[in-house]
Amino acid sequence: MTNNTSYEKTFTIGGDLTVNRMGYGAMRITGEGIWGPPKDKEEAIRVLQRTVELGINFIDTADSYGPNVSEELIAEALHPYPKDLVIATKGGLTRTGPNVWPVNADPDYLRKALEGSLKRLKQDKIDLYQLHRIDPEVPYEKTLEFLQQVQEEGLVKHIGLSEVSVDEIKKAQEYFKVVSVQNKYSVDFRKWEDELEYCREQDMAFIPWNPINAGNIGELEPLNKVANKHGVTPYQIALSWLLHRAPNILLIPGTSKVKHLEENYKAASISLSSDDMEELEKLSDSK
């Protein structure tokens, strides 16, 4: 991949949904362990409203965040939605307690999950519906057939996948057009390089989750070196690196604080030089 010192500010999902590449992930506006309501609901509402004010027009959520809480707050804070706002949600994980995420991609369950997301988000159609995980207990083909069916029914516009390999993406492409892949990826976690490159070749959005590795990148020397040079935080550099890394990467850093949201947003204005990118490549062997 080329290490450009400038990058495209937008990406068009599925050929018709153009969004700013700095988006927002709405997982953290729930309670501890991504369970229950947030401690400060008013601040969560302010975060969502400030997101739109900043010009962010891509919000990623899931029915399992809370569960239900994140989607409900998005609707409370932002409905009726701005015309250019794209809300992506996911189905395929259930919740039995804080930080517990059982997988369930059975078509019957997924239909109930999708219907719940539509109701909570106050929408007739989900712009981007993503399979949260492949279920080892359910034939992959059955899950794909369900997604194909709800797209044909007009309940979802576009379909994406999460935590999938190139082969799993290709299998899904036999059933519908895959427009996005959401895999764990960061400057120090690059297990999915092949998937990123495949998505780039196919003009699919690649949406890294955990883009700053749960905040565990602050002690990485290359990041600190580049951050000190620019007078910003290592977390901002980690986000900027992703924007420079490939033109199909969409960022969804999450937070429950307006101040932190604004700090994340500023990462989009950092221009990394080829020397900066070379320095950060020292982390490429980290897994």
Contact between residue 185 and residue 197 where contact means Cβ atoms under 8 Å apart: no
Strands 10-13 and 17-20: antiparallel
Q: How far apart are CA 211 and CA 209, in angstroms?
A: 5
Active-site amino acid positions: 65
Residues 6+ apart with CB under 8 A from 33: 97, 98, 99
For residue 66, what are its two tokens? 């809370």
Q: 286 forms bridges with which residues in the sheet?
A: none
Specify the residue for token string 């990406």. 11
